[in-house]
Amino acid sequence: MAMEAPAAPHSRAETELTVTSPDQMRELGRRLAKLLRAGDLVMLNGELGAGKTTLTRGLGEGLGVRGAVTSPTFVIARVHPSLGEGPPLVHVDAYRLGGGLDEMEDLDLDVSLSDSVIVVEWGEGKVEELTDDRLDIVIHRAVGDTTDEVRHVTVTGLGERWAAADLGVLSA
């Protein structure tokens, strides 16, 4: 079930969703992939185990990229080339990066941004300066409750790119 807040003129679109299983989180990623194009930045935030990598796995499936999408925690960034005509997926885990954009610049994400879809887990406070247009996705789960599969997902599109986007299609 999705509830959409009205979009501010030329700046923001938002929707909230409830996801009740890892399969639904992957399906959300597949639906989100249909909205994405080269040059898009997606920031994923949420507690450990919230489902950020599961969502990204669905994104990779929806974008039709090569390679299994797994957490890039130890390699920091992983590139998944497209198997078709779509853009590659650059999957970044910024959890271990503490210095903000300076450390992120070492990854040359600004070079990849124009021709890739870039997904950054734990990107808050680290990648916002890459572009004015981005999707911020926050996944909330009951902290400490490892048996509850329910996640509350807030998807916020920022900037001109997302101002008129119908994020409500994500709840289909």
Task: Note the pLDDT tens digit of each residue in 24-53.
Answer: 999 999 999 999 999 999 999 998 889 999
Domain contains 3: no
Instruction: Report the domain count for the chain.
Output: 1
What's the Cα-to-Cα distance from 64 to each of 19, 57, 110, rounded to whole Å? 23, 11, 22
pLDDT at position 97: 63
Looking at residue 148, its pLDDT comes to 76
pLDDT of residue 69 exceeding 90, the answer is no
In a domain, 48, yes or no: yes
Distance from C-alpha of 77 to C-alpha of 103, rounded to nearest angstrom: 12
Sign of the dihedral through C-alpha 170, 9, 158, 19 = negative
What pLDDT, in 10s, does the model give residues 133-142?
A: 999 999 998 6
Q: Is there a domain that residue 172 lies in?
A: no
- Comparing 31 with 99, the larger pLDDT belongs to 31
Per the prediction, the chain carries an average pLDDT of 82
**What CATH number did the domain enclosing 26 receive?**
3.40.50.300
Domain limits at 46? 22-165
